[in-house]
Amino acid sequence: MIQDIAALQIYHWNGRIDEGWLYLENATIHCAENAWTSYEMINTNESSSNFIMSVPVQHEFTVTSAGTYQFYLDVYVSYAELFGFGGASIVHSSWVAVYYPS
């Protein structure tokens, strides 16, 4: 099980909805929306401002043998990055990985 607390920053403009999806993934899958996906939304009535939200993200991965594995925090932000207004970034991320033997 991998858990993360990510600080997601979105510059929001009043009058639009900004949405962010966060995913913990391995190298073979990218931005696959599923039960492990974390989601944040800034509503249209919020004033224009720089929002920083702490977002918990977790995902369970099956490890079949000993070795080195790579995992990634992927983020998709709807309006802010798509149209180049404002912007979005991960300000801070803190990971914990736990192995549960079966």
pLDDT in tens, 71-85: 999 888 886 555 555
pLDDT for the residue 12: 86
Query: Taking the model in full, what pTM does it have?
Result: 0.79
Look up the CATH architecture of domain 2-97: Sandwich (2.60)
Q: What is the pLDDT of residue 56?
A: 94
Give per-residue pLDDT as tens, 31-64: 778 888 999 999 889 988 889 999 999 999 888 8
Question: Rounded CA gap, 42 and 19, in Å?
Answer: 6
79/12 Cα distance (integer angstroms): 9
Q: Could you tell me the residue ranges of all domains in the chain?
A: 2-97
Distances from the Cα of 43 to the Cαs of 3, 10, 20, 21, 79, in angstroms? 27, 12, 12, 15, 12
